[in-house]
A and B are shown apart, each in its own frame.
Chain A
Amino acid sequence: GQNIDQPTEMTATEGAIVQINCTYQTSGFNGLFWYQQHAGEAPTFLSYNVLDGLEEKGRFSSFLSRSKGYSYLLLKELQMKDSASYLCAVSYSNYQLIWGAGTKLIIKP
Chain B
Amino acid sequence: DSGVTQTPKHLITATGQRVTLRCSPRSGDLSVYWYQQSLDQGLQFLIHYYNGEERAKGNILERFSAQQFPDLHSELNLSSLELGDSALYFCASSVGASGGRTTDTQYFGPGTRLTVL
Contacts and interface: CB of A to CB of B under 8 A. Distances in A.
B42 A101 contact: yes
B43 A87 contact: yes
Interface of A is mostly: loop
Interface string A20-60: 00000000001101000000111111001010000000000
Interface stretch (A62-70, A76-84, A89-97): A89-97
A44 B109 CA distance: 10
A42 B2 CA distance: 10
B42 A48 contact: no
Contacts of B22: none
A95 B48 contact: yes
Interface stretch (B11-19, B64-72, B76-84, B100-108): B100-108
Interface in B87-117: 88, 90, 100-103, 105-111
A101 B58 CA distance: 15
Query: Chain B contact residues: over half helix, strand or loop, or mixed?
Result: loop
Contacts of A42: 2, 90, 108-111
Contacts of A92: 102
Contacts of B58: 96
Task: Please indicate which of the listed interface residues A31, A33, A96 has the most CB atoms of chain B within 10 Å of its own CB.
Answer: A96
A87 B106 CA distance: 13
A41 B43 CA distance: 12
B102 A95 contact: yes
A33 B105 contact: yes
B109 A97 contact: no
B42 A96 contact: no
Interface string B33-64: 10000000111010010100001101000000
A22 to B, nearest CB: 13
Contacts of B48: 95-96
Contacts of B109: 42
Interface of B: 2, 33, 41-43, 45, 48, 50, 55-56, 58, 88, 90, 100-103, 105-111
Interface of A: 30-31, 33, 40-45, 48, 50, 87, 91-92, 94-97, 99-102
21 contacts: A30-B102, A31-B103, A33-B105, A42-B109, A42-B111, A44-B108, A45-B105, A48-B105, A91-B101, A91-B103, A94-B101, A95-B48, A95-B56, A96-B33, A96-B45, A97-B106, A99-B43, A99-B45, A101-B41, A102-B42, A102-B43
